[in-house]
Amino acid sequence: MAAVAPVEEGTGPPPAPSTQTVPSPPRERTPGKYFAWVNKNVLGLLAIWSKRPQALDESTPRLVEKKQEFADYLNYVEACKQAFPNALPRELCSVDTAHQRLTSGLKIVCDPEKSIQQRYFSDEDKRRAQDLYDWAQRADALALTPPASDNETTAVVNTRRPLTGAYNADSDGKYPIRKPAPAHPVWGRRGIMHGVALTGMKGKTQCLNPDYLDEKREAAVIGHNGLIVGDWFASQIRALFVGAHGSSEAGIHGRKDQGAYSVIVSGTYDEIDVDNGDVLYYSGSRSLEHKNPTQCPPRSNGTTALHVSQMNGRPVRVLRKASSDKKKFSVWAPLCGMRYDGLYRVTWSGTKKNTHNGLFEQFKLVRLPNQTPLEDLREIPSIAQRNDYARVSEYF
């Protein structure tokens, strides 16, 4: 980012050294000032309107404008997360008190104690905001993690408490990152969970293991990215570590200028998605709960990336994920974890209606020829992999 002056220096987490460029905000000169503007002029207004006895009509121009600005805000923060998944740079920490302004704004959207202010935020909005809040805290934590000694299995990092559970969201505290022994049969260097550690309030939330960040493969690559069709991963964090998919939560990973790199097909959108194996009908972000019959949800980065992929013809990696709900089980999905099923091309996009009569965007993805047949991939994961998967929840 070009130098700007003068800037305020505030308290915040120590910055992480990085050569990656911080994405330019949609307005204002620095992320911190942009977050301040959003907190006052977007989130603040939506919160005030939420408290009014009478809800605004969804087609009210002022509300439509603010919801679009809110969508741009989430997209921007997700772009920051994509650029800096593990540690926050100075521009997102201390410059213009960016970190404090970011987390306080996200809390307006996702903190259950602020539900009276959240009338105009969908469940998907809250989920995305919670994911970004967790990232801001986790990335902050990784920036503060001290180097581990050879025999160290736990690194303690300073951060704030999570928004949920028994802890006060604003109290200071410590989160441990529990790291497995290198020889652990499941979580160690030769195990199916290599590169993953545990953190969180209960110590059961998966995160990238800071000891192996130098091994993490970049996922923002078009094509197979060194993967073999049929590669299987025990969790989405593990897929993130090996470069199969670039997000720990989102189902679409891509950029507005290059298109989508990968998508995850799961049972979450089974009411509107169609999985015919070699042909997929994949719905854009926030399609399931949308209720506006005349207007699609504001396009997320992921949805926009799929449109770009349709225009440029570049292939997209497709990963299928097992569903925990057996009623939503696809015949093509793995029995557990997620599997890389090869490259697909986006050949069509259009609009459909969901069960709420809400309009949403959908994409047709067609599998490229000369790849391992999907019928052969149905044997993956193997019995040995399934046995190891059953031991993941035993932790270490």
Residue 154: pLDDT over 70: no
Average pLDDT over residues 121-135: 92
Instruction: Give the range among 129-143, 164-178, 286-300 with minimum mean pLDDT.
Output: 164-178
In this prediction, residue 3 carries a pLDDT of 38
The overall average pLDDT reported for the chain is 83
The phi-psi region of residue 51 (left if phi > 0; otherwise alpha if psi is between -120 and 50; otherwise beta) is: alpha
Query: SS3 for 212?
Result: helix
Average pLDDT over residues 70-96: 86
> Quick count: other Cβ atoms within 10 Å of Cβ 109?
25
In this prediction, residue 291 carries a pLDDT of 86
Residue 232: pLDDT over 80: yes
Q: Are 210 and 155 in contact (CB under 8 A)?
A: yes
CA distance 252 to 249: 9
In this prediction, residue 162 carries a pLDDT of 34
In this prediction, residue 200 carries a pLDDT of 86
Name the pLDDT band for 13 (thresholds 50, 70, 90): very low
Identify the CA nearest to 255 among candidates 37, 83, 138, 55: 83
Q: Are 238 and 196 in contact (CB under 8 A)?
A: yes
In this prediction, residue 9 carries a pLDDT of 34
Query: Residue 178: what residue type?
Result: R
Strand 232-233 relative to strand 259-265: parallel, antiparallel, unpaired? unpaired
Phi and psi angles of residue 382, each rounded to the nearest 5 degrees, phi first? -75, 170
Residue 187: pLDDT over 90: yes
Name the pLDDT band for 153 (thresholds 50, 70, 90): very low
Residue 194, both tokens: 């290599």
Instruction: Give the range among 13-22, 76-85, 104-113, 140-149 with minimum mean pLDDT.
Output: 140-149
In this prediction, residue 375 carries a pLDDT of 92
In this prediction, residue 327 carries a pLDDT of 66
Strand 259-265 relative to strand 316-321: parallel, antiparallel, unpaired? parallel
**pTM, whole model, 2 decimals?**
0.58
In this prediction, residue 197 carries a pLDDT of 95
C-alpha separations of 300 from 77, 125, 272, 361 in Å:
11, 11, 18, 11
Phi and psi angles of residue 124, each rounded to the nearest 5 degrees, phi first? -70, -40
C-alpha separations of 29 from 15, 35, 93, 115, 346 in Å:
19, 11, 15, 31, 36
- 96 or 315: whose pLDDT is higher? 315
Name the pLDDT band for 10 (thresholds 50, 70, 90): very low
In this prediction, residue 160 carries a pLDDT of 30
Percent of the chain, pLDDT > 90? 52
Q: Are 249 and 131 in contact (CB under 8 A)?
A: yes
ω into 14 cis (within 30 of 0): no
| Number of alpha carbons in the 13 Å side-chain half-sphere of residue 283 | 24
Q: Which domains does the chain have, with CATH numbers?
A: 31-144 (no CATH), 154-215 (no CATH), 232-386 (2.30.280.10)
Radius of gyration, alpha carbons of the chain: 21
In this prediction, residue 5 carries a pLDDT of 35
Average pLDDT over residues 176-189: 93
Residue 8: pLDDT over 70: no
Instruction: Give the range among 56-60, 208-212, 328-332 with minimum mean pLDDT.
Output: 328-332
Average pLDDT over residues 24-30: 88
CA distance 148 to 175: 15
In this prediction, residue 221 carries a pLDDT of 95
In this prediction, residue 143 carries a pLDDT of 46
Residue 103: pLDDT over 80: yes
Residue 147: pLDDT over 90: no
In this prediction, residue 140 carries a pLDDT of 56
Residues whose CB falls within 8 Å of the CB of residue 68, separated by 6 or more in sequence, listed in order: 298
C-alpha separations of 269 from 214, 286, 325, 327, 329 in Å:
35, 10, 12, 12, 11
The phi-psi region of residue 337 (left if phi > 0; otherwise alpha if psi is between -120 and 50; otherwise beta) is: left
Average pLDDT over residues 20-49: 90
In this prediction, residue 131 carries a pLDDT of 92
**Maximum distance among all Cα pairs of the chain, rounded to whole angstroms:** 61
Q: Are 239 and 250 in contact (CB under 8 A)?
A: no
Average pLDDT over residues 53-67: 89
In this prediction, residue 268 carries a pLDDT of 65
